[in-house]
């Protein structure tokens, strides 16, 4: 069984009426799966096609470096969130 890892994906959305950068943290087994998840989430949320989403970097991060509080609580656990 594979272990889940946390990835931080940075990129930008370029649509005719919207141009913005983003950084998302996702849980996945491999970087390819994390990229697919970001494409799906951003495409659904912003109605952006894949060619309008440009991925700039994908990095695996340690649980201590997670910025999203909900994701941190899921990965790290109940007791260590406030520390």
Q: Please list the ranges in the chain whose pLDDT falls under 50.
A: 81
Q: What is the pLDDT of residues 18-34, one digit of tens each?
A: 899 999 999 999 999 99
Q: Domain residue spans in the chain? A: 5-76
Handedness of CA 40, 77, 30, 21 (dihedral sign): positive
Name, in order, each residue with C-beta under 8 angstroms of 24's C-beta and a sequence gap of 6 or more: 8, 9, 38, 41, 42
What's this model's pTM, rounded to 2 decimal places?
0.85
Domain 5-76 class?
A: alpha beta
| pLDDT (0 to 100) of residue 66 | 92
Within the chain, strands assigned E span 5-15, 18-28, 53-61
| pLDDT (0 to 100) of residue 43 | 94
């Amino acid at each position: 069984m594979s272990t889940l890892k946390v990835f931080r994906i940075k990129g930008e959305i370029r649509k005719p009426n919207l141009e913005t950068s983003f950084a998302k943290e996702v849980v996945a087994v491999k970087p390819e799966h994390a990229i697919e998840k970001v494409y799906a989430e951003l495409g659904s949320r912003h109605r952006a096609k894949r060619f309008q989403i440009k991925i700039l970097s994908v990095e695996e991060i340690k649980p201590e470096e997670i910025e999203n509080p909900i994701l941190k609580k899921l990965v790290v656990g109940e007791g260590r969130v406030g520390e």
